[in-house]
Amino acid sequence: MPWTDDNLMSLQSHVLVEERHHPGATGDFTWILSAISLATKTIGNKVRRARIEDVIGELSEHNVQGEQQQKLDVISNEIIKSCLGSRANIGALVSEEEETPTVLRSHDDGGRYAVLFDPLDGSSNLDVSVGVGTIFSVVRLGDGVKGTPENMILTPESKQVAAGYVLYGSSTVFVLTTGQGVDMFVLDHSIGAFVLVKRDLMIPTSQKIYSINEAYVDRFPAGYRSYLEWAHEDGYSSRYIGSMVADIHRTLLKGGVFIYPPTDDRPEGKLRYLYEAMPMSMIIEQAGGRSIAGNQGRLLDIKPTSLHERIPVVMGSTDEVDHVERFLS
DSSP 215-231: GGGGGS-HHHHHHHHHH
The per-residue pLDDT for 1 is 45
Query: What pTM was computed for the model?
Result: 0.93
Give me the domains of the chain, ranges plus CATH numbers: 11-198 (3.30.540.10), 209-328 (3.40.190.80)
pLDDT at 283: 98
Say what the pLDDT of residue 67 is. Answer: 61
12-52 pLDDT per residue, tens = 888 887 777 665 666 777 889 999 999 999 999 999 988 88
Residue type present at position 295: N
What crossing angle do the helices spanning 278-286 and 244-254 adopt, rounded to 10°? 10
Residues of the chain with pLDDT under 70: 1-7, 21-26, 57, 59-68, 144-145
Residue 288 near residue 328 (C-beta atoms within 8 A): no
User: What pLDDT, on a 0 to 100 scale, did the predictor assign at position 110?
Assistant: 81
Helices (H), 70-158: 71-84, 149-154
Gap between the Cα atoms of 204 and 20, Å rounded: 30
Q: Is the dihedral of CA 278, 280, 282, 284 positive or negative?
A: negative
Helices (H) then strands (E): counts for the chain: 8, 17
CB distance 33 to 176 below 8 Å: yes
Instruction: Give the Cβ contact number of residue 234 at 10 Å.
Output: 9
Ranges of H-type helices in the chain: 11-19, 28-48, 71-84, 149-154, 222-233, 244-254, 278-286, 318-328
CB 90 within 8 A of CB 117: no
The string of DSSP letters for 20-62 reads TT-TT--SHHHHHHHHHHHHHHHHHHHHHTTTTTT--SEEEEE
Burial of 68 (0-12, 13-18, 19+ CB in 10 A): middle
Which of 218, 68, 160, 285 shows the shortest CA–CA distance to 228? Answer: 218
Strands 102-103 and 90-95: antiparallel
Whether 59 and 76 have beta carbons less than 8 Å apart is answered as no
- What is the DSSP secondary structure assignment for residue 276, as one 8-state letter? I
Position 21 scores a pLDDT of 64
